[in-house]
Amino acid sequence: MGVLRSTHSLQAEVEEMRAALFHSGGWQPSAGDAGVKRATGGQEGAAAERTVCVTGGISFVGFAIVDRLLRHGYTVRLALETQEDLDKLREMEMFGEEGRDGVWTVMANVMEPESLHRAFDGCAGVFHTSAFVDPGGMSGYTKHMATLEAQAAERVIEACVRTESVRKCVFTSSLLACVWRQSYPHDRDRRGPSIIDENCWSDDTFCRDNKLWSALGKTAAEKAAWRAARGRDLKLVTVCPALVTGPGFRRRNSTASIAYLKGAQAMLAEGVLATVNVETVAEAHVRAYEAMADNRAGGRYICYDRVIQRPEEFAELERQLGIPSRTATVQSVEDRPARFELCKKKLGRLMSSRRRCTYDDYYPVTFQ
């Protein structure tokens, strides 16, 4: 699932990751061994309760989650899939001897349950952020990748269930798994927009018919995760972020962004094209994980910062990504009433109350 890069591109990405960490006060360079320490086995006692594994930990979203976890005092095990990922971490030179800086690494293939089980062993929780991208061309995502992503999600959850130490999993889904719906005649008779919240699922058939492969993959993967977790001894929460932006997102997240924006004109017209800063996404993951301990978090969470409503905003987003502008054919939400309205009240309650008890029961997710 890695993406081939030139040496210059890899070095530029490493420098961006360095800058992000120094700015945030996260990882610090060590005078010790600059190599990457591999995880060697499970841990016991209180330390294990603060040890978590992150898949896709050097992706744009995964990297921010790892940084946030370290700031919260967790020990993080990075599940890496390729030698390229390992080389990138070595170039950062930010890991001390024997994992003292709070980061360990292990090679793991999300399609291989045994590999995942070894990676998760000794961790109290798992953050599954790994996702498939298309390294060739501008599509960002293919129909085949949707199938693979659903298979990977199921195997990750099965590995979590099988691993005795793992009690919780936070799964990174997407707002795309919520917003794509069939248009029915009675929808037009509504006096106001329909609310899109955590109870809404994108329609699989609609996504296939319109070749919205990224939306199909995110929907299928999240449903597969919930099916695999149902009735098992594992707490699962899914976070559904909008288009993830932030410093360096053009270089580090452009392929995923292009895949997300397929159908963007329709999303803009319907009032569901939204963005979210990567730091907000990372904080939402950690807050959800911590609140799961006493059942203050459960189910799904929609995550976004702002809804794009004007063609000018859309044009700026395209400019930032370096893709051709399509604003000439875009109708803004202000020109006509939007059919849908996004709602993130559930996440708002979680983010505004970190320690005090709130009424947010842990409950199973249902879908068609």
345 in active site:
no
Strand 274-277 to strand 306-307: parallel, antiparallel, or no bridges (unpaired)? antiparallel
- Taking the C-alpha atoms of residue 113 and residue 289, their distance in angstroms, rounded to an integer, is 23
Contact in structure between 51 and 74 (CB atoms under 8 Å): yes
At 146, is the secondary structure helix, strand, or coil?
A: helix
Alpha helices in 93-170 (DSSP H): 113-120, 143-162
For residue 134, the tally of other CB atoms under 10 A from its CB is 20
Closest CA to 305 of 270, 262, 349, 275: 275
Contact in structure between 177 and 201 (CB atoms under 8 Å): yes
At 181, is the secondary structure helix, strand, or coil?
A: coil
Pick the catalytic residue: 218, 223, 344, 346?
218
Closest CA to 320 of 332, 303, 308: 308
172-to-34, 58, 182, 237 alpha-carbon distances in Å: 30, 14, 24, 9
Sign of CA dihedral 324, 330, 332, 333: negative
Alpha helices in the chain (DSSP H): 7-24, 46-49, 60-71, 83-92, 113-120, 143-162, 176-179, 204-209, 213-229, 249-260, 264-270, 278-291, 311-321, 345-352
Residue type at 96 in one-letter notation: G
Residues forming the active site: 218
